[in-house]
Structure 1
Amino acid sequence: MRVPGWLDDTRTSYDTVAVSYADLLRDSLAGEPFQRGILALFAEWVRGAGNGPVADVGCGPGRLTGYLHGIGLDAFGVDLSPAMIEVARRDHPGLRFEVGSMTALDLADGSLTGLLAWFSLIHVPDEDVPTVLAEFFRVLQPGGVLLAGFHAGEGSKLKTEGYGGHQMNVYVHRRSPARVASWLQEAGFTVEAEMAHHPAPDVEGGFVFAHR
């Protein structure tokens, strides 16, 4: 489906919910052993590829950027929302955070060893996914590693409220791991693994590991 203005809508929506989002999710990894395991596997893979810089693209308030730094990675965050970056800098003052769009990353070619897209592709319409994945491929060094996490399933739904009842206006797109893997292969990546996670009834997450 086409979603005109999705970048502006995403920026505005997450500016609106930034503080509440950070408060609600700050400690959420503590109760998610599966997600911590996925991130640990990503970290091991990054170390094996040279342990260079890692971008958390769509970092929000920086909770995963901080987690990756805490387990030994040279991680920094990029997010479309200036308000999210402000919260990230407040909560993680020793780390680097930048405002930017995954459709045109302000990063040099081949400058990253790892890239994390943790539930940050969910608002990207299908027709813009190839642009985003081409950017991911461009900024990763040969052998650089990618972990994408996303809501699994099919279909799109307009989200008009969230994170404390604040107004939002973003579509949430659900994709199967196989579909995301296929897009990554078309972008030039080698896919290492596809996973599905069922943390609760009627809730499904997808994860794909790939490398350039």
Structure 2
Amino acid sequence: MTEPTTRAAYDSVATLYAELFSDVLDSLPLERALLAAFADLVLAGGNGQVADVGCGPGHVTAHLCSLGLSAFGVDLSPEMIAIARRAHPGLRFDVGSMTALDLADGVLGGVLANYSFIHTPPARLPVVFAEFARVLAPGGHLLLGFFAGDDPEPREFDHKVAPAYRWSPDSLADLVGQAGFAEVARLVRAPHEGERGPQGQLLMRRQS
């Protein structure tokens, strides 16, 4: 998927997406636990600045702020950003691309990419992960949420908004590692009712 196509797809469903998912963390205790661990690790590093890349309607950005982080959101979709700004007027939300973040080198203590890179063709992901490494300070943490699979090769599937990819945790960890990250933890859970397969979380640390 190209960025313009993905942007248009999410612009078209932004209101419905916000209605469906703005309170989704209430039903995801494992994801909340890993977000809390991510926040603790970021804060322990002394730099609580976190970018929620692909923030959508801003619900996870707000949750990160409730955990003590100085979090802000970035999203490709102007409609999503407009909704996030209305829902969370005290927080910062910017339209932007994960391949070219409008940030200086090494300014962040953390990056969250929660199901936001799933539409990116695998051949383009090294650019994304290199950009995350660029904006993270050494020792900073990266938390990725993704659709998990068993196949060592990423597999495209028909996501409801735009075509997306499933990744095996091993393959994804190897790819992110090539951008200068070391694995800290991973989580793969069984799908809840209505979900189309296992869900994965990967926590990585930017090496010095």
Matches within 5 A, 1:19-168: 19-153=15-149, 154=151, 155-159=155-159, 162=160, 168=161
Amino acid at match of 2:158: L
Residue identity matched to 1:41: A
Rounded Cα–Cα distance in structure 1 between residues aligned with 2:107 and 2:113: 16
Of 160, 178, 187, 2:179 maps to: 187
> Is 1:9 the equivalent of 2:5?
yes
RMSD: 1.3
Name structure 2 gaps, 5 residues minimum. none
Give the CA deviation at 1:71. Answer: 1.5
* Aligned residue in 2 for 1:165: none
The amino acid of 1:136's aligned partner reads: F
Contact 2:49-2:69 at 8 Å conserved across structures: yes
Q: Deviations over 1:110-167 (max 9, x none)?
A: 01000001111111110100000000000000111110110111511233xx4xxxxx
Q: Which residue of 2 aligns with 1:205?
A: 199
**Match of 2:97, SS?**
coil
SS in 1 for 2:124: helix
- TM-score by length of structure 1 reads 0.91
Paired with 2:187 and 2:25, the residues of 1 have a C-alpha distance of 18
> Identity of counterpart residues, as a percentage?
50
Greater fraction strand:
1
Cα distance per residue 1:85-112 (max 9 Å; x no partner)? 0000000000000000001111110010
Question: Deviation at 1:189?
Answer: 0.8
> What number of residue pairs does the alignment pair up?
200
User: Which deviates more from structure 2 when the two are superposed, residues 130-139 or residues 21-30?
Assistant: 21-30
Q: Is the CA contact (8 Å cut-off) linking 2:47 and 2:108 kept in structure 1?
A: no
Report if the CA contact (8 A) 2:142-2:205 is conserved. yes
Find the residue that maps to 2:42 and give its secondary structure.
helix
Segments of 5+ residues of structure 1 without an aligned counterpart are 163-167
- Partner Cα distance (2:75, 2:183) in 1: 25
SS in 1 for 2:163: strand
Contact 1:181 1:194 in 2 (8 A): no
Distance 1:58 1:26 in 2: 14
Q: Matched residues in 2 for 1:187 and 1:84: separation? A: 29
Provide the C-alpha distance between the structure 2 equivalents of 1:203 and 1:51, rounded to a whole number of angstroms: 35
